Structure formats: C-alpha cells, structure tokens
Amino acid sequence: MTAAHTLQATGLSLGYKDRTVISGFDLAVPPGRITAIVGANACGKSTLLRAMSRLLTPREGQVLLDGKQVHRTPAKELARTLGLLPQSPIAPEGITVGDLVGRGRNPHQRALSRWSREDDEAVAAALEATQTLDLTERAVDELSGGQRQRVWIAMALAQQTDVLLLDEPTTFLDVSHQVEVLDLLTDLNRARGTTIVMVLHDLNLAARYADHLVALADGRVHAAGEPGDVLTTDTVRAVFGLESQVITDPTSGRPLMLPLGRHHVTAPAAPAVPAP
C-alpha cells in the first residue's frame, strides 16, 4: 500500500494573461480515494489540474501536498509522489512506445544510477496493464488515438506515484476501453491505495467510478461529496444548464443521469433512490 498523502488547494486564483478562470477556490482531495471532477467546458477543470501538478503558478493561494507548497517543491522530488497525465500530451517525434513508457521512471533515477530490474518490472507491468505490451517497438506517432492514450496512461502508471492526476484519461477511447481504463485505475486504487484525481466529461462514468465527486461551475465548487449527493437534477441544471432525470443505476447502484432533450422522451423516469 502507498503512503497516505494530503492534497489541497486553498484560496486559489488561476488564469491566463488577463482572463481569470478560477477565483477564491478551495478543495481538499480525500487521500486514498478516487475523485472525479466534472463540469461544463471552460469551467476550469483542466486549469485546476495544471495548478495542482505545478504546471501553472497560481495568481493567489496555494496548492499543498502534505502541507508543502507544490510550486516550491523541486520538480523531480514532486514527481516521485505526484504524477500527471495531461490532456493531449505530445510525444517526441519517432519515439517508441517502450522508450516513452520508460520515461515514467525518470523521477526515480538518481545521479549516475543505472536502469534497474525494478525499472524493467515497472515498465512491463504498466504495458501489460494497459494492453500495450505488443506495441513496445512501435513508434508512438504511428498509433491510433486510442492506442496512444493507453500508452500515455502506461507511462503514468510506470511512474508509480502515490498520487495520480489524470485529465480526461478516456479521451479517444471507445466504450470498452473507457471501462477498461477506469477499471484499471480502480484496481490501482484498491491494490495500492493510490490517490486518484481525474477530470471526466461523462457524468455517469464519473458517478460510477468515483468515491468523491466534485462539480465545478464558473470556476468554483458548486457541489462536492459522494456521487449520490452530488449528481442530482438540480446540480445538472445548475452546472450544465440541462434538464434531466436521475435514477439509480441497476448495475452499480450509483446515480445515473438521463438527459431530457426535446425528442425521444415519452415519460419522466423514476427518481433515484439511495443505494443500500
């Protein structure tokens, strides 16, 4: 099991040039749990993850990992505890899958240290877990979008951090691979206690896989807590401007959002009931 780490944002103000995206923002990530961040486009989800991973310096406030400011922590030291899979990462031209995934081990390399058996095992396990072992010798820029996304996830897994941030990890993946990736992250959380924070667009997948759900609106936390408390018709209306019905997913017992459009709606769905 990994060590329990605290990750929190206090009084954050974030933006780009003269545009403020997030203001007066506070968030505490439950250690050892899976947190999913949801919200409409341009509400600040990706901006928040960039700040929490040290890629974006706050205008005001701070991000604390175990009580230490991440923006004052040396990058390599931080990368041994906290990993990030950003949205639409770019691989060096011509790099092979094996070499890219191997770069996940860079934070663990010391001065003059050699590649170890532990590094080999970490890379192999990450490739196998993401079903990309057969792609090891392939160039990353020759792969499909879905294959590339699984390779980037493999690199994040090879880093073996106790805290893992992922911005849209299911991008470019078909439905079966979306479920496989989220199952994989759940396995990682349950087996190692890894704290996982991920941005997801799919509300229903977020509600199914997250222990803690955070809904953002206008750069602020509109609601946060267990999925059954957060994913409500009021929240969907306030955050997405969408009318919906929320029922209990017969498969998972979690809330399931049914959007109400102008067509193909015959009758209101039954309201959600708390899972036993």
Domain membership flag for residue 276? no
List, for residues 61-90, the tens digit of each pLDDT value: 999 999 999 999 999 999 999 999 998 889
Which of 197, 186, 168 is closest to 63 using CA atoms? Answer: 197
Sheet containing strand 82-85, edge to edge, reads: 82-85, 163-167, 195-199, 34-39, 212-217, 220-225
What does DSSP assign to residue 96?
B
Backbone angles phi, psi at 57, to 5 degrees: -85, 130
- Count other Cβ atoms within 10 Å, centred on residue 15: 16
CB burial string 200-227: b at 16+ within 10 A, e below? bebbbbbbbbbebbbbbbebebbbbeeb
pLDDT of residue 116: 87
CB burial string 60-70: b at 16+ within 10 A, e below? ebbbbbbeeeb
Range of the domain at 21: 7-259
Backbone angles phi, psi at 226, to 5 degrees: -65, 145
- Count structural domains, the chain: 1
Residues of the chain with pLDDT under 50: none
pLDDT of residue 109: 78
d(CA 240, CA 217): 8
CATH (domain of 59): 3.40.50.300
pLDDT of residue 274: 60
- Per this entry, what is the length of the chain? 276
| H or E element, residue 148 | helix 145-158
Domain membership flag for residue 59? yes
pLDDT of residue 262: 87
pLDDT of residue 171: 86
pLDDT of residue 88: 83
Domain membership flag for residue 212? yes
Domain membership flag for residue 70? yes
pLDDT of residue 87: 86
Domain membership flag for residue 160? yes
pLDDT of residue 264: 85
pTM for the model = 0.89
